[in-house]
Structures are given as structure tokens and as C-alpha cells.
Amino acid sequence: MIFIVVKFQVQPELADQWPEITREFTEATRAEPGNKWFDWSRSVEDPNEYVLVEAFDDDAAEAHVTSDHFLRAIAEGGPMHQALVSTPKIISRQIDGDGWDEMGEMQVG
């Protein structure tokens, strides 16, 4: 699978609105064939930073980045683009596995 983590630095005055700004993009991506998950989190240390954790089947990531909703989302002048302070930072890797595993070092329940 392709495992991706992206950090978005959002303008302080728009940080609370980020989930709504990205809602259409998020919903469309989650509906894509081959999308495993697409989950946003907000940093507890920097309230203007959002972290996106996403995963796709090996052959689905290319379809994602060429989709209409992706191209609209990243378009210069678009709502997401205008809300950002800087270019997002990304880690994208192909990894073995098909989903989340339980943490071996800690067991609960």
C-alpha cells in the first residue's frame, strides 16, 4: 500500500475553518476506489497545523493525484491554496501490509 502523511500549515485566522474548507475534497477522496483511509488531525502543539494520514492500494495513488477533486483542491487560488501559509510537507512511501496492525509493545484490554 501507499502510506502518506502530509503536514499543512494553515493561516491562523482560517485554522478553525480548515475542516470545512477541506470537506468536499475529503469526502471525494474517501469515496475513491482504492482509498484505505484519509484522516485529518490537528496538532496539539501548533493549532495552525493539520496532519493528514492517508493510504491507498498500490495502484490507486496515481488515480487520486490525477482526479478532478484533487486538481481542484490544489489549484492556485482555490480555497485550500489560499488558506495555507506554506507548501505542505509530505512523506509518501510504499509499505508492506494492507492496514493498521496492533501495537506489539502495548496491549489494552
The pTM (predicted TM-score) of the whole model is 0.92
- The domains of the chain, with CATH numbers, are 2-94 (3.30.70.100)
Task: Please give the pLDDT value at position 49.
Answer: 98
Please tell me what DSSP assigns to residue 12: G
65/19 Cα distance (integer angstroms): 20
Determine contact, residues 62/81, Cβ cutoff 8 Å: no
Strands 89-94 and 49-56: unpaired
96-109 as b/e: b if 16+ CB within 10 A = eeeeeeeeeeeeee
The tens digit of pLDDT for each residue in 6-18 reads 999 999 999 999 9
Q: H/E element holding 55?
A: strand 49-56
Q: What is the mean pLDDT of the chain?
A: 94
Q: Grade residue 44 by pLDDT with cuts at 50, 70 and 90.
A: very high
